[in-house]
């Protein structure tokens, strides 16, 4: 399929914007993580954390598909175009890595803050 240079530019821009969004969400989540377990820890904070994670997962999925499409479209294109796609792949990979590490920290902190589960008391008869 032939794609016009302006359409190609739009797809590159969309992918870049999505990666920027992932990074912005990571910053938001890092700030929220700092509030977990403090006096600022509220149900709203936890809901916001959850929503931001869900939204970030969707953005990562759509961006991965977008970059895959870009790779297919520009397979025979100029070296410059291929380098742009490679750079986007690297940026996405770095962003996903940061996000994954942060998700682990959020999960660990959340688990650590859960109230302990009472042990079942066995009835002795």
For residue range 9-58, list pLDDT tens digits in order.
Answer: 899 999 999 999 999 999 999 999 999 989 999 999 999 999 999 999 99
CA dist 47 → 11, 29, 40, 43 (Å): 32, 12, 13, 6
Judge whether 69 and 10 are in contact, CB under 8 Å.
Answer: no
* Model pLDDT for residues 74-84, shown as the tens digit of each residue: 877 788 888 99
Judge whether 2 and 74 are in contact, CB under 8 Å.
Answer: no
Task: Using alpha carbons only, give the angle 80, 89, 75 rounded to the nearest 5 degrees.
Answer: 45
CB hemisphere CA count around 83 (13 angstroms): 3
């Amino acid at each position: 399929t032939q794609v016009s240079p302006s359409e190609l530019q739009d797809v590159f821009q969309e992918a870049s914007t999505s990666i920027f969004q992932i990074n912005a969400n990571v910053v938001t989540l890092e700030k929220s993580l700092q509030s977990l377990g403090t006096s600022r820890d509220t149900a709203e904070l936890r809901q916001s954390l959850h929503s931001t994670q869900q939204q970030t997962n969707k953005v990562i999925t759509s961006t991965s598909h977008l970059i895959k499409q870009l790779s297919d479209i520009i397979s025979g294109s100029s070296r410059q175009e291929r380098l742009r796609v490679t750079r986007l792949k690297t940026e996405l990979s770095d962003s996903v890595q940061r996000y994954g590490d942060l998700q682990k920290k959020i999960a660990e902190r959340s688990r650590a803050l859960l109230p302990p589960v009472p042990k079942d008391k066995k009835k002795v008869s």
